[in-house]
């Protein structure tokens, strides 16, 4: 097992563990730093289980035994120091799960940042700067990212639109021209309707920038794939951070476009800001 996958394996297996094995899991999730310094007899005593139960737990989460588990846990803590604060359990207080959700998000963002391909990001920024039209496609949770992106990029003096309906996406795609750009956003990378729209975009000679997990159909079909790998499941106690990671990458692209446009854009943004002031309640009012 890769060290970075151990915490996810524990979370994945929690609902399927025996009651005694879950006691081991709960203790380790609450005390990860202490666990890596323990002998098997110590951990068994702290979790109030037998030593064979500890061994069964280690194998249930993909390790060959207790020493293999401790090594993987130690490597996980070294690579991701916030692990001990991330895994949410059903006994957490409001304060505990609040901090864990924030820590999980920060941890995800740092991992995504460190694995981004900067060369592809630069290509994406240049394509966006040169585009006559920029459109954003996404479904479900990715639709929210698409509409947020449209809001950011239309402020950068680009002709933009966002679509979350497959019929509108197809109509949009068939009206594009060479030089236009579509940003296809998918947290799964496997949405069939999105892939169909992407194919239509490419037939029109426009470019597709994809925000999707690596080695997925959406990433493979893109002209410029920006891969975002966030391992998540739909268990009740797994904070979902992939949407935040996609939003952060959209911000990176927007900053890149703003930087390329330079001083002229800065003047435009100041005018927009001034125009918004009349819509806001002044300090001291209300």
Domain range list for the chain: 3-87, 117-275
Asked if 3-87 and 117-275 have one fold, the answer is no
**What pLDDT does 286 receive?**
59
| H-run or E-run covering 211 | strand 207-212
Can you name the CATH fold of 3-87?
A: Arc Repressor Mutant, subunit A (1.10.10)
| Count of CB atoms situated within 10 Å of the CB of 74 | 17
**What pLDDT does 232 receive?**
57
Give the predicted TM-score (pTM) of the model. Answer: 0.69
d(Cα 59, Cα 57) in Å, to the nearest integer?
5
Nearest alpha-carbon partner for 36 in 106, 105, 86, 83: 83
How do strand 224-227 and strand 207-212 relate by DSSP bridges?
parallel
The architecture (CATH level 2) of 117-275 comes to: 3-Layer(aba) Sandwich (3.40)
**What pLDDT does 57 receive?**
94
Mean pLDDT by 10 residues, the chain (286 residues): 63 85 88 89 94 94 92 80 58 82 82 92 96 95 94 89 96 95 95 96 97 95 94 52 92 93 72 72 71
d(Cα 6, Cα 214) in Å, to the nearest integer?
20
Which phi and psi (to 5°) does residue 216 adopt?
-115, 160
**What pLDDT does 239 receive?**
46
- 137: helix, strand or coil: strand
Helical spans, DSSP H, in the chain: 6-13, 19-30, 32-35, 40-47, 51-60, 66-79, 94-115, 118-130, 141-154, 166-174, 192-203, 217-221, 242-261, 263-277
Residue 55 tokens read as: 């061994």
């Amino acid at each position: 097992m890769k060290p970075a996958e151990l915490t996810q394996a524990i979370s994945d297996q929690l609902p399927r563990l025996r009651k005694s094995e879950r006691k081991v899991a709960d203790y380790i999730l609450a005390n990860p730093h202490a666990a890596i310094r323990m002998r098997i007899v110590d951990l068994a005593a702290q979790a109030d289980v037998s030593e064979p139960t500890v061994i069964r737990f280690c194998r249930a989460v993909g390790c060959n035994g207790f020493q293999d588990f401790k090594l993987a846990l130690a490597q996980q803590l070294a690579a991701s120091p916030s692990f001990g604060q991330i895994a949410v359990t059903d006994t957490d207080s409001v304060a505990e799960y609040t901090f864990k959700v924030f820590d999980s998000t920060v941890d995800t963002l740092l991992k995504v940042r460190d694995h981004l391909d900067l060369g592809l990001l630069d290509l994406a920024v240049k394509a966006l700067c040169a585009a006559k039209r920029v459109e954003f496609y996404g479904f479900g949770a990715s639709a929210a990212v698409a509409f947020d992106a449209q809001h950011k990029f239309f402020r950068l003096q680009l002709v933009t639109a966002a679509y979350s309906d497959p019929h509108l996406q197809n109509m949009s795609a068939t009206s594009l021209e060479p030089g236009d750009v579509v940003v296809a956003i998918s947290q799964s990378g496997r949405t069939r309707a999105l892939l169909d729209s992407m194919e239509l975009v490419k037939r029109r000679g426009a470019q597709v920038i994809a925000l999707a997990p690596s080695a997925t159909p959406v990433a493979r079909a893109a002209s410029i794939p920006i891969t975002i790998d966030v391992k998540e499941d739909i268990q009740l106690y797994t904070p979902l951070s992939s949407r935040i990671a996609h939003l952060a990458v959209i911000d990176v692209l927007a900053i890149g476009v703003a930087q390329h446009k330079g001083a002229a854009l800065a003047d435009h943004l100041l005018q927009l800001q001034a125009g918004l002031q009349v819509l806001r309640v002044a300090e001291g009012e209300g």
